[in-house]
Amino acid sequence: MCKGLAALPHTCLERAKEIKTKLGTLLQKPESTIDFIIPYPEKPEKPPKAQKPSPEEALQWRDSLEKLLQNPYGLSSFRSFLRSEFSEENAEFWVACEDYKKTKSPVKMAEKAKKIYEEFIQTEAPKEVNIDHFTKAVTMKNLVEPSPTSFDMAQKRIFALMEKDSLPRFVRSEFYHELIK
């Protein structure tokens, strides 16, 4: 048993220092709890340039959100529409997840995961997406060891929300009607 500093054996001092270090780490207040899991993000990438689709191609988007999101011009138009409705976070989250899945380096994957979490998932995030508590919990658990599928459940929920809610409004919008003329 450790008694008095002068009489402490060398191993007790080492143990005390180790405990002090661990407590110091725990007492630091990170921006979010995810700081313990994932390092800081890298700089953003530039989006590709988009070519205007034919009216026929744009007509296909009313029945397929997937085709709309896969077309750079369609995605840009959809995002502009969502921006006009102050609801672009869903499309931005979907794009961020697609970019994340293409990441090969584990370090970069962890950086991107942290950025996505802080920007879209965590409570009070600047662009917090509307996902249920269970999906958020599963996503957070997946981030302990980031993999290409870490955000799959949340991304599918947001895709379904956009497909059910945002796409029909987009198809009725002036943004879309300009494309199919």
pLDDT tens digits for range 61-113: 999 999 999 999 999 999 999 999 998 999 999 999 999 999 999 999 999 99
- By residue count, the chain amounts to 181
Res 181: pLDDT: 87
Is the pLDDT at 8 greater than 60? The verdict is no
Map out the domains of the chain with their CATH numbers: 55-178 (1.10.167.10)
Average pLDDT, the chain: 82
* Full-model pTM: 0.71
**Farthest CA pair distance, the chain:** 88
Percent of the chain with pLDDT over 70: 72
Per-residue pLDDT, 5:
46
Report the pLDDT averaged over residues 137-165: 96
pLDDT at 172 > cutoff 90? yes
